[in-house]
Chain A
Amino acid sequence: MLFPTATFALFFLVVLPLSWLTMPWPHRWRAFIIVASYVFYAWWDWRFVLLLAGCTLWNQVLAVRIWRTRTPSQRRALLFLALAGNLAVLGYFKYYDFFVTSSDNLASLVGLDMPLEVKSIVLPVGISFYTFMAISYVVDAYRGDFEPTTLEKFAVYLSFFPHLVAGPIVRPAELIPQLETPRNPRRVDTSRAFYLIATGLFKKVVIANYLASSIVDEVFAAPGQHSSLEILIAVYAYAVQIYADFSGYTDIAIGIALLLGFSFPQNFDSPYAATSIQDFWRRWHMTLSRWLRDYVYIPLGGNRGRRPILTYRNLLLTMLIGGLWHGAAWTFVVWGGLHGAALAGERLWGERRGRAERPTTAWTRWRSRIVVFHFVCFAWIFFRADSFDAAWEMIGGLFTGWGEASPLVTGGVLLAILVGIGSQYLPARIPRLVMARFSRLPVLAQATVLAFALMLTSVMGPEGVAPFIYFQF
């Protein structure tokens, strides 16, 4: 079930009142929300509900055992078992064919035959997200940071439909305490919720889909047929498209959770206004960045190594894993590697210069923003391209076709890019003022404003519903 569909609207119109009506009875509410979330998930493919339920049971049993066990070696063994189970399932569904084809191609270079065969496995939607949430649950239990809760609450935590298929990746300490007590039905931050839902829909349906269909898909499919200007604008357009697509989804998810009375962590914070790569990762897919930081980078040793080279290695490894998380292809690994190398290089540069890394004047800030934005755009080429050949064709095309006709670079495309990037520099007081004014409108006026926003999104968006980019991850 996709958020911007009539099916979801009807689903939510049933779930919203029933959720609040059952809220005073926590057991009933949790049972209801588990059923609702499983229905939401089953709408895509009912068979994978069993996988979600199995993941819930496996991690709950092991997290409780880890918490209750005193012997460090046994705790470590249980943690290893839990992680192995989670990663085995993720590896099978997401990486099996990638592993087989990569091994087969490597083996064929030395004249060997691989005994394994590709299986054309269907990837369960959202598996990367809920596997990471489950891992954080057992690791937090192992570290003693969070006591495992009941199976019922853990099932809600893992399957709660607003975050189920594409995040944000919510930590146990952020959501499970909210499940302990009923939400206050008299204090719902509706104006923020509606603002996030309306802007999220507009970002996804209008900006992201328009840029994809107007320039991005066509140029990335056949770079050799396009001028350098078209390729350059397509790269900028993809940067805006993926931001609008993914942040739009999480905005809607956060807004829907708010209407149900729950707070999710922020997932984007104007990433294209970042002044360094480190800053970018504090602003882009923030819940994944901190997950990688806490469950990969720090366990690897973080920046506590005796030699700086160990810190660089840890940064690189973390980002390579982050790249592979996004997709089972070497282009994603290169994308992660580029960011890892840039983070390490930035750190080395800061240490060499022996002063604060952060730019201090307006000029240096803007210079840094421009450099960082262009590096991020460059890395997106590998992220979006179907293959290395396609990526190199894009990069080569940036230099070889200036002066040619560029029919795809239209006023609409440039405007959409400008809106996408310019929105990240919007003064904070403007949306705050919009939300405050909206919250003071009478009911009918609020509904009318939202209805007009829906109408504009419907008219300006393409026909049909394009899938969200991050669903495939």
Chain B
Amino acid sequence: MADPPLPPLPPLPDDDTATVERVARPEAPVAPPPSATRRHSKDAPESPRRRQWSAGHALVVCVLALAIGVLLNAPGIHKSAYNKSAGWEREVALAFTGPLADVSHALLLDRPRKGVQALIGRSDDDEIDTEIALPAPGTPTAARPGSKSPTTSPPRTPAKPKPPRKVAFSPQKKLRLWVAGDSLVITPGYAVVRAAGSSPAIESVGGVDGRVATGLTRPDIFNWFEQIRTRVKELRPRAVVLGFGGNDDKAYMTGLPEGVSIGDFGGSAWRREYARRVGGLMDMINKSGGFVVWIGLPQTNSPEQTSRFDVINAVAQQEARRREGRATFVDTYTMFAADDGGYTEFLPDGSGQLKKVRAGDGVHFEREGGDMIAREVLKALNRAYDLTSWRKKSTA
């Protein structure tokens, strides 16, 4: 049965520019189905004919392409399964993709993927790294870079060290600032970078290392402990703005020390292990001479999520308090509360104009919201360091 003709598309201008899309129009010449074979018909190079196939053929090609594609991509699919949230879906996915990766490897079908990865410098994309290397708790200046000290013992309250001397920075000797964290840190991070740009005594180094769907509970998805260790060594920042926890509100962690279990989310074992990770990161940065500004989690449009974020905030705030003078916690919960104390997407700015400060997803920040956080971060840096005395000296 002949298909009813489509009405013509609006006229397009004549042009000598031949295009990819243009050749893909429905009215392009097509050959009859394979049964009415014209296999060796004379195809002029400028008007090659393409063969139409049956719907069954389309289905077979789709199934085969996906099957071969799954084998070719088995290492990546296995990693994706590993990265899933804990639950039956992850168990099923791992049960399926583990053997699949083995078969792919045995048949050498993972070689093309590895070859392309090597070619573009991403050979470690499929590796699953869960090792957490942190300085020993309470000894922020004793641990050596690269030391691995996963421990099951509860973190001891570190001996309160003497707060560091308020170091002065100037346009000649700038405070090196780095920002890292999950997706919630991206918008505030860039706001901090913008704000830093207006201060002659601060220099942003390394931009904003914000990574979506990552956190401190799942080093298999992205190993922040390794990343921060490496980047701090490379960039030598004197101030590091961190923001984590948006994806950590679950009763599941990888990279646990041998024999440790964390129990339910928010329970004492969970808090202890999370505190070990948060505190360990702070110590790692302190050890290299950096001050930590930890951006807390805001309330969201979901009360349940907000209460889970409260747990994470409590841990981070406590760890920052334990390192007074070396770390500080920026409370975004109250900063973004409405008049009634609840969630709001809009807040008035300094001039009373209503601004959208939270993104439509009810979790992330808009640019204006990022600017509000950046102002608090700069205040914290000004408390920790002397960023203004150079002005007096230069005007004297």
Binding site for B on A (CB under 8 A): 9, 12-13, 16-17, 20, 97, 100-101, 104-105, 108, 118, 120, 122-123, 171, 173-174, 177-178, 180-196, 199, 217-218, 221-222, 224-225, 247, 254, 259, 261, 263, 265-266, 268-270, 273, 275, 279, 282-283, 286, 290, 293, 358, 365, 386-387, 390, 423-429, 431-433, 435-440, 443-444, 446-448, 450-452, 454-456, 458-460, 463-464
Contacts and interface: CB of A to CB of B under 8 A. Distances in A.
Interface in B48-63: 48-63
Given A185-B54, A282-B10, A436-B49, A443 B20 contact: no
Contacts of B352: 108
Interface string B196-239: 01100000100110001100000000000000000000000000
Contacts of A195: 24
* Residues of A contacting B: mostly: helix
B20 A188 contact: no
Given A190-B61, A424-B17, A222 B194 contact: yes
In the A-B complex, the 6 residue pairs with the closest CB atoms: A428-B18, A447-B64, A221-B190, A436-B48, A451-B68, A450-B65
B366 A358 contact: no
B53 A190 contact: yes
Given A188-B55, A269-B22, A459 B113 contact: yes
A116 to B, nearest CB: 11
12 contacts: A16-B58, A20-B59, A221-B187, A221-B190, A279-B13, A387-B367, A428-B19, A432-B48, A436-B50, A439-B50, A443-B61, A459-B120
Contacts of A282: 10, 12-13
A275 to B, nearest CB: 7
Contacts of B108: none
B260 interface: no
A463 B116 CA distance: 15
A221 B209 CA distance: 13
A221 B208 contact: yes
B357 to A, nearest CB: 11
Contact of A459 (B43, B48, B117): B117
B106 interface: no
Interface of B: 1, 3-4, 6-7, 9-10, 12-13, 15-26, 28, 30-31, 33, 35, 39, 43, 45-69, 71-73, 76, 112-113, 116-117, 120, 122, 125, 186-187, 190, 193-194, 197-198, 204, 207-208, 212-213, 301, 343-346, 352-356, 358, 360, 362, 366-368
B356 A273 contact: no
A1 to B, nearest CB: 16
Nearest to B13: A279
Nearest to A17: B59
A186 B30 CA distance: 13
B10 A290 contact: yes
Contacts of B56: 20, 185
Nearest to A102: B354
B116 A459 contact: yes
Given A13-B66, A185-B55, A173 B17 contact: no
A135 B4 CA distance: 24
Nearest to B93: A6
Given A118-B346, A269-B22, A9 B66 contact: yes
A431 B63 contact: no
Contacts of B204: 225
A171 B39 CA distance: 37
B68 A464 contact: no
B1 A184 contact: yes
A261 B66 CA distance: 20
B66 A187 contact: no
B38 to A, nearest CB: 11
Nearest to B187: A221
A270 B17 contact: yes
A285 B385 CA distance: 52
Nearest to B348: A108
A461 to B, nearest CB: 10
Given A118-B346, A184-B3, 20 more contacts: A9-B66, A13-B62, A104-B353, A186-B55, A189-B26, A191-B53, A218-B190, A254-B24, A263-B6, A269-B12, A270-B19, A270-B22, A273-B15, A425-B19, A426-B19, A429-B48, A432-B48, A437-B48, A439-B53, A459-B113
A293 B10 CA distance: 11
B345 A118 contact: yes
A460 B53 contact: no
B6 A97 contact: no
B50 A435 contact: yes
A242 to B, nearest CB: 16
B62 A101 contact: no
Contact of B193 (A185, A225, A451): A225
Nearest to A294: B10
B180 to A, nearest CB: 14
Contacts of B57: 188, 190, 443
Nearest to A187: B52
B275 to A, nearest CB: 28
B72 A454 contact: yes
Given A222-B197, A263-B26, A451-B69, A13 B63 contact: yes
Contacts of A12: 62
B73 A218 contact: no
